[in-house]
Amino acid sequence: METFIQQFINGLSLGSVYALIAVGYSLVYSVLLFSNFAHGGFLVIGGYICYFALRSGGMNIWVASFAALVGAGLSAIIVERLAYRPIRERTPVTLYMLIASMGMSIVIENLFVVTIGGRFRALPPVIPTNPVNFFGIATTSAFDILSLVTAVIFLVGLQLFLVKTKWGLAIRAASYNLKTAGLMGVNVNRLIAIVFFTAGLLAGVGGIFLSVRYTLYPQLGAITTKAFVAAVIGGLGSLPGAVIGSLILGLAEMMTAGFISSQFRDLVVFGILIITLIVRPTGLFGKSVGEKV
Amino acid sequence: MMEEKKPILSVKDLVVNYGAIQALKGVSLDVYPGEIVAVIGANGAGKSTMMNAIMGAVPRASGEILLDSKPLPSKSFQVVKEGISLSPEGRKVFAPLTVLENLDMGAFPISDRSAIEKQKEDVFELFPRLLERKDQYAGTLSGGEQQMLAIGRALMAKPRVLLLDEPSLGLAPIIINEIFKKLTEVNCQLGMTILIVEQNAKKALQLSHRAYVIQTGSILMEGRSADLLHDPEIEKAYLGGKK
Ligand SMILES: Nc1ncnc2c1ncn2[C@@H]1O[C@H](COP(=O)(O)OP(=O)(O)OP(=O)(O)O)[C@@H](O)[C@H]1O
Ligand SMILES: [Mg+2]
C-alpha cells in the first residue's frame, strides 16, 4: 500500500510534467494541424538557459527559471518564423511543416552538441529533492510534490488565459477554424506567435523539471515522444485530453516501475498507445479522424 | 441621385488567379453609401473569390480595391479594422464556442467593452432568437440560426460595408424570407451599406437596389435590380424562366 501511494504521487508528478509538454504540442497542433517535432527542442533550450543562468550567471532559481521560460517561448516564436511561416504562406499542405519540424528538431539538438558538447549536465541543487513524509502514509520527494504543484499552477494559468482573455478566445476560435478567425479581424501571424510562445514557455517549465529528474543533455528533447503519445491517447488537439493522457502515462510508468520493473516502462507506454488506437482511434477526447502523425 | 455621391467601396479591374486558373478576369463594381448591391451568378462564377479578395483572404493578381477612394490594405485583419466585415459562405460559425463567444469574436477589433455590449444588444434586438440561445454552442444551432449568428457576428465589428456571401445557402424558403427581411431592416434602420452575392437571383434582386451579373469571372451586366428582375435574358438564365 505504501508503495502504491508513493508511486501514485510520483506518477502524477511525472504525468503532470508530460502534460506541460503535451498541452503545448496539442495547442500548436490544434491551430496549425501538424505535429511539431521541434517541440522537444524548446524544452532543451529552456533547460540550458536555466543551467547557464545558475552556473555561469550565478542567478537565483527564480530569475533563472524566468529567463528559461521566456527564452524557450521566444525560441519557439523564432522557429515558427524561420521554418513554418514561409511554408504556411505558400501552401495549405501541412505535411511540409511536419517535415520542416523534423529538420528543426535536428538543428536545435546539434546546435547544442556543436557549441557546448553532448555531455550530461546536472543542474545545481537549487530545487529541493529531499524525501518528504507524506502524512505518515508514504514517503515521496519534495521534488515530486514541487513539480506536481508547479505543473498544476501553469495548467490552470493556461486554462484561465484561454477562457478569460480576448486572445485566449481567439486561440480557441482559431483551433476550430484559423481562416475564419482571420476574417474576424485577428492578426493571424500574431496569434500563431502567441500560441508558439505559450507552447515554448510550457515546454520550458517541463525542461527545467526534466533536467533535474534525468540531468540535461542535447537529446533530452526526445522525451517529448512520451508527451506526443499522451496527446494522441487523449485525442490530438484536445487540451483536456492531453492532460488526462499525460496523467495516465505518468501513472502507468510509475506503477510499472514500482510493481513490475523499470525496464518495462516504455513497453507499457506504447502498449497503452496501441490499445487506445485500436479501441478508440480518435483518442479519449478526440473528435475528427484526420491524419495524425 | 446615387451616382452623384462617391462610392464607399470600389473594385477596379480585379484579377485573381488560382495557379493557372483565372477566377476573376478584371471585375469592376461600385457600392454607394446606404445601398444594397447584389452580385448574382451561377456556381463557380467567382462570387466568393471576389468577396475573399476584398477581405484580403485570397491574394489579388492585379486591380484595385478602394474604400472611400483610399486603397484597402491587403491583410484581412487590417481590412476588418478599416470597416469591412464578411459573413462567409457556409456561415462558418465557431461550432465549439457559444453564441456569445461567437459575437465576441466578431467584435475582436473593438477594444471598448461598453461599445461591444451595446453592439451585442443591437444584434439581439435584430435577432431575438440569438438572445434566447446565447449560451448555446453555435454547432448545435439550426442552419437558419447559424446564418443569423454569422450575420450578427459580422455586424459586431460595426462595419461600414457588410459583405454577405450566399446567406440563403441551404435554407428553407420561409427562413430565407425571414433573414432577408432582417437585411432590409439593417439597411433601412441602421443605414448599413450591403454587398451581397447570391445564387438565389430572385431574392437577391428583390432585396437590392442595384445588381451586377457575373459569369466566369467577368461582369456581364449591371443595372437597377427592379429592371434586371424583369429583363427577359436574366429571367431565362437566372430566374428559372417564366413564373
Ligand atoms: N482555393 C481554390 N483553388 C483553386 N481554384 C479555386 C479555389 N477556390 C475557387 N476556385 C475556382 O475559382 C472559380 C470561382 O470559384 P468561386 O468559389 O469564387 O465561385 P462562386 O461564384 O462563389 O460559386 P458558388 O456559387 O458555387 O459558391 C471556380 O472555378 C473554382 O473552382
Ligand atoms: Mg461561392
pLDDT tens for B102-122 read: 999 999 999 999 999 999 999
| Residues above pLDDT 90, as percent of chain B | 90
Question: What mean pLDDT is predicted for residues A240-269?
Answer: 90
Question: What mean pLDDT is predicted for residues B4-9?
Answer: 87
Contact A169 B97 (CB under 8 A): yes
- In angstroms, the separation between the Cα of residue B110 and the nearest Cα of chain A is 9
Question: What mean pLDDT is predicted for residues B75-79?
Answer: 96
d(CA B123, CA B126): 5
DSSP 8-state assignment for residue B29: E
User: Given this model, what pLDDT does residue A293 score?
Assistant: 40
Residue ranges, CATH 3.40.50.300, chain B:
1-83+159-243
User: Given this model, what pLDDT does residue A124 score?
Assistant: 85
- pLDDT tens across B139-185, in order? 999 999 999 999 999 999 999 999 999 999 999 999 999 999 999 99
User: Given this model, what pLDDT does residue B14 score?
Assistant: 97
Q: Confidence band (pLDDT; 50, 70, 90) for A4?
A: confident
Element (H, E) at B25: strand B21-31
d(CA A165, CA B186): 30
For residue A37, the one-letter residue type is F
| C-alpha grid cell, residue A190 | 500574431
d(CA A158, CA A136): 33
Considering the four listed CATH numbers 3.40.50.2300, 3.20.20.450, 3.40.50.300, 3.30.1370.100, the one that applies to the domain covering B1-83+159-243 is 3.40.50.300
Q: Whose CA is nearest to atom 4 of ligand 1?
A: B18
Positive or negative, the CA dihedral B171, B173, B175, B181 is positive
Torsion of CA B79, B80, B86, B90, to 10 degrees: 100
**End-to-end C-alpha distance for chain B, whole angstroms:** 32
**Cβ proximity of B74 and B56 under 8 Å:** yes
**Cβ proximity of B188 and B16 under 8 Å:** no
The full 3-state SS of B73-127, as one line of letters, equals CCCHHHHHHHCEEEECCCCCCCCCCEHHHHHHHHCCCCCCHHHHHHHHHHHHHHC
Q: Confidence band (pLDDT; 50, 70, 90) for B242?
A: very low
Would the pLDDT of A237 be above 90? no
Pick from B11, B21, B213 the residue to mutate for probing ligand 1's pocket: most ligand atoms within 8 Å of its CB. B21
Would the pLDDT of B65 be above 70? yes
Of B75, B96, B106, Cβ closest to residue A184: B106
Task: Ligand 1: list residues with CB < 6 Å.
Answer: B 18, 21, 23, 41, 43-49, 89, 199
**Cβ proximity of B96 and B131 under 8 Å:** no
Please give the residue that has the higher pLDDT: either A69 or B243: A69
What is the A230 CA–ligand 2 centroid distance (Å)?
40
Contact B76 A173 (CB under 8 A): no
d(CA B198, CA A33): 32
Q: Chain-wide mean pLDDT for chain B?
A: 93
What is the B88 CA–ligand 1 centroid distance (Å)?
13
**Cβ proximity of A158 and A198 under 8 Å:** yes
SS3 (DSSP) at A249: helix
User: Given this model, what pLDDT does residue A3 score?
Assistant: 82
| Residues above pLDDT 70, as percent of chain A | 98
Q: Which of A131-140, A198-207, A270-279, B191-200 has the lowest mean pLDDT?
A: A131-140
SS3 (DSSP) at A274: helix
- pLDDT tens across A262-293, in order? 888 888 888 988 998 888 888 888 765 444 44
Contact A180 B92 (CB under 8 A): yes
Ligand 2 ion: nearby residues, β-carbon < 5 Å: B 47-48, 89
Would the pLDDT of B17 be above 60? yes
d(CA A255, CA B125): 58
User: Given this model, what pLDDT does residue B235 score?
Assistant: 81
List C-alpha distances in Å: A207 to A20, A159, A231, B75: 10, 20, 17, 37
**Cβ proximity of B55 and B74 under 8 Å:** no
Mutate to test the interface with A, among B51, B79, B102, B105 (most CBs of A within 10 A): B105
SS3 (DSSP) at A290: coil
- The domains located in chain A, with CATH, are 2-118+142-279 (1.10.3470)
- pLDDT tens across A59-81, in order? 899 999 999 999 999 999 999 99
Name the residue with cell 502524477: A12
User: Given this model, what pLDDT does residue A290 score?
Assistant: 45
Question: What mean pLDDT is predicted for residues A38-54?
Answer: 95
CA angle, corner B143, sides to B137 and B145, nearest 5? Answer: 60
Q: By CA distance, what is B94's nearest residue in A?
A: A173
- pLDDT tens across A132-142, in order? 877 777 778 88
Q: CB burial class (10 A; 0-12, 13-18, 19+) of residue A288?
A: exposed
DSSP 8-state assignment for residue B3: G
| Model ipTM over 0.95 | no
DSSP 8-state assignment for residue A219: G
SS3 (DSSP) at B133: coil
Mutate to test the interface with B, among A30, A164, A179, A184 (most CBs of B within 10 A): A184
Q: Which of A234-243, B58-67, B185-194 has the lowest mean pLDDT?
A: A234-243
- In angstroms, the separation between the Cα of residue B55 and the nearest Cα of chain A is 7
Q: Residue A190 phi/psi, 5° resolution?
A: -70, -40
User: Given this model, what pLDDT does residue B58 score?
Assistant: 94
Question: What mean pLDDT is predicted for residues B180-193?
Answer: 94
For residue B115, the one-letter residue type is A
Burial B89-123 (b: 16+ CB within 10 A, else e): bebbbbeebbbbbbbbbbbbbbeeeeebeebbebb
Q: Which of A156-160, A232-236, B74-78, B146-150 has the lowest mean pLDDT?
A: A232-236
Contact A182 B81 (CB under 8 A): no
Contact A181 B101 (CB under 8 A): no
Question: What mean pLDDT is predicted for residues A243-261?
Answer: 91
d(CA A15, CA A150): 12
User: Given this model, what pLDDT does residue B240 score?
Assistant: 67
Cβ-based contacts of B109 with chain A (< 8 Å) = 185
Q: Confidence band (pLDDT; 50, 70, 90) for B7?
A: very high
Q: Which of A7-21, A268-282, B189-203, B228-242 has the lowest mean pLDDT?
A: B228-242
**Cβ proximity of A145 and A9 under 8 Å:** yes
User: Given this model, what pLDDT does residue B1 score?
Assistant: 47
d(CA A171, CA A190): 11
DSSP string, A56-103: TS---HHHHHHHHHHHHHHHHHHHIIIIIHHHHTT-S-THHHHHHHHH
- Global pTM? 0.93
Q: Chain-wide mean pLDDT for chain A?
A: 91
Residues near A112 by beta carbon (within 8 Å), at least 6 away in sequence: A44, A48, A118, A218
| C-alpha grid cell, residue B69 | 477612394
d(CA B79, CA B163): 12
Specify the pairing of strand B193-198 against strand B36-40.
parallel
| C-alpha grid cell, residue B21 | 486558373
